[in-house]
Amino acid sequence: MSVLVVVNETRLVLIQGDITQQATDAIVNAANSGLMGGGGVDGAIHRAGGPIIMEECRRIIEKIGRLPAGKAVITSGGRLKAKYVIHTVGPVWHGGRSGEAETLVSAYRESLKLAAANGLKSISFPAISTGAYSYPLERAARVALATAMDFARGDDSLQEIRFVLYDSYSYQVYADILKELTPKPEG
């Protein structure tokens, strides 16, 4: 099952599945500031992609110290089908009054900018911050989809922005919100 909406020149696609299996140019990792791996999507990406990704992360951290929430960096994809992994750090949910939404917007935006700057044509996102970091799914879905639409309106370099939802409930939440954010055809 999948849902598709076209914004400017970019397809926004929702699918239920495993992000490590996506053959888009890049997949996005919901990492932490240390970039040294973890559970959830982060653990799955490093397991599937092999040690090269961690080695590149280590070099980045040697240079920049830590990756602040809302920022993004790029490494190769190792053994993954995706050629690149874009690592970003979402906010930890503290109730919504600590700038969580702004940080989540920034995590999506910086990842999209980095993909475009590297000449990539397609990118897959997980539902950043909605697992270990406890961001409420519906609010996170709204931020993810609105930020992607906004980016696509101003930059037509990406052909596809794919959202890969792990379970059917998250998929349904995303599908409902995408419908809500999509202008109805006239008539």
Residues of this chain that interact with ligand AR6 (CB under 6 A) are 18-20, 30-32, 38-42, 44, 90, 126-133, 164, 166, 170
CB of 35 to ligand AR6, least distance (A): 9
Q: Annotated catalytic, 18? A: no
Whole-angstrom Cα Rg for the chain: 15
- Written as six digits, the tokens of 53 are 């990704």
Catalytic residue among 18, 25, 42, 150: 42
d(CA 104, CA 160): 20
Rank residues 70 and 156 by Cβ distance to ligand AR6 and give the closer one.
70
Strand order in the sheet with 72-76: 2-7, 10-16, 160-165, 122-125, 26-31, 84-89, 72-76
Rank residues 54 and 132 by Cβ distance to ligand AR6 and give the closer one.
132
CB of 9 to ligand AR6, least distance (A): 26
CB of 158 to ligand AR6, least distance (A): 19
Rank residues 131 and 136 by Cβ distance to ligand AR6 and give the closer one.
131
Residue 139 CB-density burial (10 A; 0-12 exposed, 13-18 middle, 19+ buried): middle
**So which residues are the catalytic ones?**
42
